[in-house]
Amino acid sequence: MRYAVYYTPAPGSALARFGSAWFARSAPCLDTPRRYGFHGTLKAPFRLAAGVDETGLLLAVERFAAERPALSGPPLGIAVLADFLALVPSARFGELDRLAADCVAAFDRFRAPPGAAELARRRRAGLNPREEALLRRWGYPYVMDAFRFHLTLTGRLDEAGLASERAEAKALLGEAALPLFVDAVTVAVEPAEGAAFRLLQRFEFGKPGGSRA
């Protein structure tokens, strides 16, 4: 069982509607991102450390969110990141980068160290020295100064596949804007290895408690 801390769009928002419509499609390249859910990662999936439990994690995230203000950022645009399609902020959003860094650090006491197999899998991507150092310290290489916020839209694709899916995304979006409003963090859980992640609880900023997803 693994947990993650996500940004998920507010239910009923333009971004949530776009995500629902996008993942309602049956294209094979959606299978992997669909398993993880439509989200932006703030703290990557991790197994719980010895001596902590789900209840403690949820309480910590609730307290974290209660002290945070909502963030309004630049609109999202469609981009190619390496070999997959994603939504990314159209300009730098430093407040969101800091939020992600705070999530990584604040909840690290709940994270069990990654095993040898997971470390090997991460390293197959070809990490640079800084990413290797981040992997060793935080269990994930793309955090802190190596973080880039995005909402994944596809799995890996070749050039033709990327062009085709980008056209699909643009057609679905049309002339609509996708504003980025970060007003909560969500805890997600993978109940068994390979199972789809389930949104466990969404904690709105500046408020006690959270809503079950």
CATH C-level class of 2-212: alpha beta
Q: What is the pTM of this model?
A: 0.93
Residue 6 token pair: 């996500």
* Coil, helix or strand at residue 43: strand
Sole residue written with tokens 């609880």: 201
Among 138, 78, 72, 130, smallest CA distance to 105 is for: 138
Residues 90-130 have pLDDT tens digits of 999 999 999 999 999 999 999 999 999 999 999 988 899 99
What are the structural domain ranges in the chain? 2-212
pLDDT of residue 125: 84
Pinpoint the alpha helices (H) of 80-158.
94-106, 116-123, 129-138
What's the half-sphere exposure (Cβ side, CA atoms, 13 Å) at 204?
A: 9
Amino acid in position 107: F
- What mean pLDDT do residues 50-76 have? 96
